[in-house]
Amino acid sequence: MNVSGADHGLAVRIGIAQLIAWASSQYLPGVIAVPMAEALGMPVAWVFGGLSGALVLSALAGPLAGRLIDHFGGRPVLVCSNLLFAAGLLSLAVADGLMGFVFGWGLIGIAMAAGLYDGAFAALVRLRGTQARPAITVVTLIAGFASTIGWPLTAWIAHSADWRVACLGWALLHLIVAMPLHASLPTVSSETAEAQGRMRASGLEETGKSGPRAQASGRASLMMALLATMFALSLFVTTAMAAHLPGLLVSAGLSLPLAIAGAALVGPAQVLGRLIEFTLLRRASVFLLAALAVLAHPVGAVALLLQGEALAYIFAALHGLGNGLLTIVKGTLPLTLFGAAGYGRRVGLIMLPAKLSQALAPLLFGIALEHYGVSALWLTTALCALSALVLMEVSRMTNIDDGHRDT
């Protein structure tokens, strides 16, 4: 599973653009929420509400964005996402009230449907088919530094100048860095496009071992629903931790500085998880990767709940490792099961419930944390356990299909 020179260059270009996209969207409110709220005369919670609304729009627009990538290729759709990101950030930068604020987050939400991981993975699959897994990992390795780079950079600009200048700066990076990188991506040859069109028309899939079997069994719709459930449960947990991990660690008994330091372990741990996949686990089954991704959080959570603050950093590191693997699994598990043809639309449908659960996660877990403190981790542990059970059922169905095929 080595990455060729051409694939490496492709992944690096998309990875840099992904870093900019994540830093200027989901990671933006964490730094500028307070000054933005003060300038626009609204509660701080409304700023995070803008992100939640953008996530809902992203979920609803995801299947269409995937279908467009399936049909036209990744290059034009990703370029358009950069234009939408830039327009949304510009709208936030010049907003003087609620209307400009809502319009800006609306544009960003539509851009997120095509311009974050789902769109990037669909573009890679469109270009590399079932051989896209190594390139997907490289993209996640680079984009994994979005918070590490994005938060300090946004904070520095906002402190040195103003939060509006920070929004303008990210808009410019979309136009002068990310958009040219996307514009330099290769197009799919007419022969490849015609072959993929014939596969879609005939109902066949360009897959490895499992794809044709999953299609032939007539269980593809059920397996898609199960994957959607698994990702909705898992990504609720990851989003809840992204919003509340420092406060959760304080509830576990750490001081605020130690809690922030613990939460900061998540980013490096995510990258470490992806490096492990790229090296030690590069030939491992995607089901093994998925199991490790889903179970890392509950293992750390139970350790923290039973042993207390002494294992808080272990919990944060395990959560980060699992989250790093989960990002890769999001792209590769649907590819392994269903193949490359129609990948973008299919992933858009699978991830729709997950994006909706992500939009609700900060609010719902915040309520649980307020009422139950660190014991709210029993909720995320239960959700991960359910996700693991769903994954086991998908694996069982795949094995049944293999058995029927071989007899």
List, in order of start, the domains of the chain with CATH numbers. Answer: 5-188 (1.20.1250.20), 200-406 (1.20.1250.20)
* Residue 236: pLDDT over 90: yes
Among 300, 303, 310, smallest CA distance to 238 is for: 300
Q: What is the mean pLDDT of residues 393-405?
A: 71
Q: How far apart are CA 50 and CA 95, in angstroms?
A: 13
Q: Write the DSSP string, 48-91.
A: HHHHHHHHHHHHHHHHHHHHHHHHH-HHHHHHHHHHHHHHHHHH
| Number of other residues whose CB lies within 10 A of the CB of residue 291 | 18
pLDDT digits (tens, 9 = 90+) for 64-97: 999 999 999 999 999 999 999 999 999 999 999 9
CA-CA-CA-CA torsion sign (148, 250, 293, 340): negative
Q: What is the pLDDT of residue 48?
A: 81
Q: How far apart are CA 138 and CA 221, in angstroms?
A: 30
| Number of other residues whose CB lies within 10 A of the CB of residue 311 | 19
Lowest-pLDDT range of 171-175, 191-195, 258-262, 345-349: 191-195
Which token pair is 15? 């990875």
| Helical (H) or strand (E) element with 313 | helix 312-338
Lowest-pLDDT range of 75-79, 121-125, 338-342: 338-342
CB environment 14-49: b (16+ within 10 A), e (fewer): bbbbbbbbbbbbbbbbbbbbebbbeebebeeebbbb
Percentage of the chain beyond pLDDT 90 is: 47
| Helical (H) or strand (E) element with 109 | helix 98-115
Q: How distant is the alpha carbon of residue 261 from its chain centre? A: 23
Q: What is the pLDDT of residue 207?
A: 40
User: Could you tell me which residue, 233 or 130, shows the higher pLDDT?
Assistant: 233
* Residue 203: pLDDT over 50: no
Which token pair is 24? 């200027």
| Number of other residues whose CB lies within 10 A of the CB of residue 122 | 32
Q: What is the pLDDT of residue 401?
A: 56
User: Could you tell me which residue, 329 or 3, shows the higher pLDDT?
Assistant: 329
Q: What is the pLDDT of residue 267?
A: 82
- What angle is formed at CA 100 by the lines to CA 96 and CA 101, rounded to 5 degrees? 95
Helix (H, G, I), strand (E, B) or coil at 259: helix
Backbone φ, ψ for residue 209 (5° rounding): -75, -45
Q: How far apart are CA 321 and CA 332, in angstroms?
A: 17
pLDDT digits (tens, 9 = 90+) for 182-193: 999 988 644 454
Residue 152 CB burial class (10 angstroms; 0-12, 13-18, ≥19): exposed
Cβ atoms of residues 215 and 338 within 8 Å = yes
Which token pair is 32? 């500028």
CA dihedral 8, 22, 71, 189 (to 10 degrees): -20
Q: How far apart are CA 115 and CA 146, in angstroms?
A: 14
The letter for the amino acid at 378 is W
Which token pair is 159? 């402190």
Which token pair is 286? 């995607």
